[in-house]
Every structure is written in structure tokens, then in C-alpha cells.
Amino acid sequence: MYKISMIWICLAVILQAMNVGDTLPQVTLEKENGGTSHDKPWYSNSLKGKVHVLLYMDPDKRTESQALLDALNVLEVDSQKYSTVAIVNLAATWMPDAILEGLLSKKEKELKNTSFVFDKKKYLVKKWKMKDDASNVFIVDKNLRVIYRKIGKLSFKEIEKIIALIHQNI
């Protein structure tokens, strides 16, 4: 009986999660919920009109998406048509927010065409049905439609697929 209950719970979570083909729900991160690395509100509708790779990361699992960040940093793509948004789940780590925000603000300067956004209360875990305490990778097209989704560490082949999807959709 326990196994059957667990299967139904897992199925319910999967069915509620954002999937390829879904439109990204509109959200705002500001004040106590988070915002940009410059202490300004962040609006998901600001993503419209460009292709974006969205990395929703637990800072303690940052190595899961480092290879992707490295590949995207050397990608030669028009910044008017594409960018990367690294959304950091500050509530998923033991590190103090101020220290982490400072470290990531420095990292933002190193990464080309990448901006950092902070989620202080796991707001997007609820609103976008992200997997908590994990690395979530999404690609959204110009109309905010999800065209790729992956949770966890990416293989080299998956990184190649992401790069190809970026080129196909810009």
C-alpha cells in the first residue's frame, strides 16, 4: 500500500510541474521574496522577446550546472536575442544571503550575457514548480514557452543539445 501511495504522490508532483510546451507563469521577485543582484525587482515578463536559459540553482549544488555556465559563457550569440538568467535559491543553503549575494555579484561580472536573480523564500519552487534543493535548467523561447527542461547534473550531450536549441530558436 505504501508503494502505491508513493507512486500516486510522485505522479501528482510530475503532472503539476512545468513541462516542455508550457508557458512560463508570470512572477515578480521583489523585497522579501528576492530580486536582482542590484536590489531591484525582477519580473519574469521581462524575458519576453528573447531566448533565455534559466538556471534555478541551489548554491550547494552549483557544480551541477558549472559546465553549462562555462559553455554558455563562450557562446557567440547576439545578446539582443539571447541571455542566461541564473536564479539562485538562497533559502536552499546554509550560507548567509549577504555573503552569497556578494560572491555571486562578482561572478556575474565574469560571466558574459548572464544576470543573477535571487529567490529568498523558495517562491519559484512554488510558483514554477521547481525541484527544491536541486539544479533546474529551462530554456524558454521568445514567447516564454518552455522548450527544454532538465533537473540535476547535465551530461556533455545535454549541454550540446541546449546550445543547439538556443541557435535554433534565436
pLDDT digits (tens, 9 = 90+) for 73-128: 999 899 999 999 999 898 888 777 676 777 777 677 778 899 999 999 999 999 99
Per-residue pLDDT tens over the stretch 1-58 = 555 544 444 433 443 467 899 999 999 999 988 998 788 999 999 999 999 999 998 8
Domain segments of the chain as ranges: 20-169
Q: Name the DSSP class of 65.
A: H
Q: Which of 17, 54, 55 is nearest to 131 (CA)?
A: 17
Q: Which string of b and e fits 86-120 if b means at least 16 CB within 10 Å? A: bbbbbbbbeeeeeebbeebeeeeeebeebbbbbbb
Q: 20-169 has which fold?
A: Glutaredoxin (3.40.30)
